[in-house]
């Protein structure tokens, strides 16, 4: 089995991991503290192996295609945040639910976005080039978005600097710096590139372990959140549809090639769930639902990507239909 096949079937791996975690958590509730203790180092390893795949030292490469970069930035950091804010209007007035939705929808994906771009006939080179830019901008903009979109009381109660900052430094800062140092070491000698290739196999199994541990440690929260997840499901499905339509609009307005349009759609539709997990896991008691919402969105998204792989190249960004649209606009 090659790596692309593993990533193509990852949704079933995660579902099995969640089911296993729920079974273990129900059968042995005493395991919950051990699951929580294991979660942090495994999550750090997951983020490191993910960041290693991002060309962190080549952020400037993204700006070679200015129209595409403009579409990425406007789509991911202007239009999608507006969609996320409007989505809250359709949800129950639950602060933990709202925070979970915002955390996961405000950050564009930096890992399986590239895989799905490749599978969906997008432009993989463009996807790789914009990934470090997406990562840097989302980390800078996320606190600003949350401050603007959350009520002041919820923002202050949930996002305590004394708890958020250590989590961000330990679980995002350290893996990010380690990945950059690894990239510099690998690029010093061509034969070292095999290390990056080998590390590329690890995000899927590590994320499976992460969701197993979360399900096992928070089995009660998952069980109680069932009715609420049914209410947020239409929002996550609707987000996927709207994100793709925004990408199609930007592609037409900016006259991007169809492969670039598909890449844009995958960027707008996929979110960076496990990069925000450290923030969610560091939230105070009473906000556990936020973690469940983030994991749930990842599952909805992965099923949505199966639809994207059919819909984008064959319908929404089909070369023949694009030519028809262009002729009709003349």
Tokens standing for residue 135: 């990562």
Cβ proximity of 277 and 104 under 8 Å: no
- Res. 325: pLDDT tops 60: no
Q: How many structural domains is the chain composed of?
A: 1
Residue 327 has what pLDDT? 52
In a domain, 7, yes or no: yes
What residues contact residue 121 under an 8 Å CB cut-off, 6+ apart?
259, 262, 312, 313
Residue 322 has what pLDDT? 55
Distance, C-alpha 82 to centroid of its chain: 17
In a domain, 172, yes or no: yes
Range of the domain at 285: 3-320
Residue 201's alpha-carbon distances to 53, 214, 292, 311, in angstroms, are 10, 21, 25, 27
In a domain, 158, yes or no: yes
Tokens standing for residue 112: 């399986």
CATH code of the domain containing 285: 1.20.1530.20
In a domain, 140, yes or no: yes
**What is the C-alpha separation between 97 and 94, in angstroms, rounded?**
5
Give the residues across from 108 on adjacent strands: 271
In a domain, 105, yes or no: yes
- Res. 161: pLDDT tops 50: yes
pLDDT in tens, 259-281: 999 999 999 999 999 889 888 88
Tokens standing for residue 252: 């037409």
Burial class (CB in 10 A: 0-12, 13-18, 19+), 162: exposed
In a domain, 283, yes or no: yes
Tokens standing for residue 146: 């949350």
Query: Is the pTM value of this prediction over 0.75?
Result: yes
In a domain, 109, yes or no: yes
**What is the C-alpha separation between 27 and 187, in angstroms, rounded?**
48
DSSP SS3 for 271: strand
Rounded to the nearest integer, the mean pLDDT of the chain is: 91
In a domain, 42, yes or no: yes
**What is the C-alpha separation between 80 and 9, in angstroms, rounded?**
27
> Which of 55-69, 226-240, 267-281 reaches the highest mean pLDDT?
226-240
Cβ proximity of 277 and 284 under 8 Å: no
pLDDT in tens, 10-54: 989 999 999 999 999 999 999 999 999 999 999 999 999 999 999
Cβ proximity of 156 and 283 under 8 Å: no
Cβ proximity of 216 and 25 under 8 Å: yes
């Amino acid at each position: 089995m090659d790596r692309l096949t593993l990533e193509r079937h990852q949704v079933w791996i995660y579902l099995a991991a969640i089911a296993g975690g729920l079974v273990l958590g129900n059968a042995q509730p005493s395991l919950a503290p051990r699951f929580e203790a294991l979660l942090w180092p495994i999550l750090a390893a997951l983020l490191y192996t993910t960041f290693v795949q991002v060309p962190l030292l080549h952020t400037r490469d993204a700006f070679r295609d200015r129209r595409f970069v403009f579409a990425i930035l406007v789509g991911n950091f202007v239009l999608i945040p507006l969609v996320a804010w409007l989505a809250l209007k359709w949800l129950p007035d639950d602060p933990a639910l709202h925070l979970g939705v915002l955390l996961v929808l405000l950050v564009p994906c930096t890992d399986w976005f590239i895989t799905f771009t490749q599978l969906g006939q997008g432009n993989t080179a463009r996807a790789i080039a914009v990934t470090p830019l997406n990562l840097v901008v989302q980390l800078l903009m996320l606190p600003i978005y949350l401050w603007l979109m959350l009520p002041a009381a919820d923002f202050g109660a949930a996002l305590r600097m004394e708890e958020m900052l250590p989590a961000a430094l330990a679980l995002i800062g350290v893996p990010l710096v380690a990945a950059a140092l690894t990239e510099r070491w690998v690029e010093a000698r061509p034969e070292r590139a095999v290390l990056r290739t080998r590390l590329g196999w690890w995000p899927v199994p590590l994320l499976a372990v992460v969701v197993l541990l979360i399900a096992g440690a928070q089995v009660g929260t998952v069980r109680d959140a069932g009715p609420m997840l049914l209410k947020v499901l239409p929002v996550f499905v609707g987000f996927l549809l709207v994100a793709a339509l925004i990408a199609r609009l930007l592609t037409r307005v900016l006259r991007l090639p169809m492969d670039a349009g598909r890449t844009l759609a995958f960027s707008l539709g996929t979110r960076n769930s496990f990069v925000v997990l450290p923030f969610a896991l560091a939230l105070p008691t009473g906000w556990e639902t936020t973690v469940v919402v983030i994991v749930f969105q990842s599952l909805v998204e992965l099923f949505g990507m199966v639809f994207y792989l059919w819909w984008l190249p064959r319908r929404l960004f089909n070369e023949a239909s694009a030519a028809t649209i262009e002729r009709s606009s003349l």
